[in-house]
Chains A and B, each alone.
Chain A
Amino acid sequence: DAGITQSPRHKVTETGTPVTLRCHQTENHRYMYWYRQDPGHGLRLIHYSYGVKDTDKGEVSDGYSVSRSKTEDFLLTLESATSSQTSVYFCAIRRDRGYTGELFFGEGSRLTVL
């Protein structure tokens, strides 16, 4: 158990509304990631963070913003949700020690935008 919790786990919202997903870790690791997973596309990196207030874009960052004001929390915001953002969102951490490629994922947040 890597101590990662995502909230909410399920959300239904309407087009144009703002949505914030939260990822919380209990182990104080530097690296945190947000991925989305869609059929036919696999997991795609949205944003990642390498420390408090240090973030970088992934391959599908348009329409998303992130914030990391504390080590333990990494927030993903959809400023104005669109139907194309209906997806399962996974947060992940990379432990500071261990394999570079080993990510520990949260259980996912299923977002439906109507």
Chain B
Amino acid sequence: RKEVEQDPGPFNVPEGATVAFNCTYSNSASQSFFWYRQDCRKEPKLLMSVYSSGNEDGRFTAQLNRASQYISLLIRDSKLSDSATYLCVATEAAGNKLTFGGGTRVLVKP
């Protein structure tokens, strides 16, 4: 079983709609969590951190559920430019190793 698992998608989303997807992690000792965004044939870039209390950055909301060992990302009012692959990341306690999920592909269509 992979340490960090994601539904690969694609999630086909009408422009302006809301989309949400989850990521599960198997290591209960995982300390910190993040969402990265990766455009086609480009390098990944940090989108946002995920805090236990939940956090929001503009149209993006991230949640962490430690009891069920998953994190989620919600995108409101989807834009065409939100089309990308979203990677979830878990770090071990020391924070030196970051484990990436396989990514969830989102396609926003007019």
Contact = CB atoms under 8 A, between A and B. Distances in A.
Contacts of A72: none
Given A100-B91, A102-B34, A50 B97 contact: no
How many of chain B's residues touch chain A, expressed as a range? 20 to 34
B57 interface: no
Given A42-B103, A100-B32, A105 B96 contact: no
B95 interface: yes
Interface in A61-110: 90, 99-103, 105-108
How many of chain A's residues touch chain B, expressed as a range? 20 to 34
Contacts of A43: 44, 87, 100
A101 B43 contact: no
11 contacts: A31-B96, A33-B98, A40-B8, A42-B6, A43-B100, A44-B100, A45-B98, A50-B96, A90-B44, A100-B95, A103-B44
